[in-house]
Amino acid sequence: MKAHIKSDFLIRTIANEKVLIGNGEQINFSKMLMLNDTAAFVIEELQKQAVPVDVETLAQCLADSYEVSLPEALADVKTLMTQLESQGVVVLE
């Protein structure tokens, strides 16, 4: 499975919390998503890429950066991508 984030979403820090908000026509402050550090890390990795990224690659980046096993990172990334897809933030292929 591959994922890419829609370009109109930005991570901002508000009151020391990381928040994902829409930019431009996507702005809707009632739909801000509060992010934990792991979700923010994965979204930032997605934003660095110009092409869709394999969730396995995202999981490997997560496992390399945090003290987590690859299977656990993969499960977390898959869950996050499913949640973000349902919110209209990412597109899964």
Full DSSP string of 24-85: GGG--GGG-EEE-HHHHHHHHHHHH-SS-EEHHHHHHHHHHHTT--HHHHHHHHHHHHHHHH
What is the residue extent of each domain of the chain? 2-88
- Report the SS3 class of residue 49: coil
Express each pLDDT in 59-84 by its tens digit.
999 999 998 999 999 999 999 999 99
For the cut 90, the answer to whether the pLDDT of residue 88 exceeds it is no
Cα 18 to Cα 85: distance, rounded to the nearest angstrom: 19
Single-letter amino acid code for the residue at 13:
T
- Give 5-48 pLDDT, tens digit per residue: 988 888 888 889 999 888 765 555 556 788 999 999 999 999 99
- pTM recorded for the entire structure: 0.84
Per-residue model confidence (pLDDT) at position 23: 74
Fold for 2-88, please state it: Outer Surface Protein A; domain 3 (3.90.930)
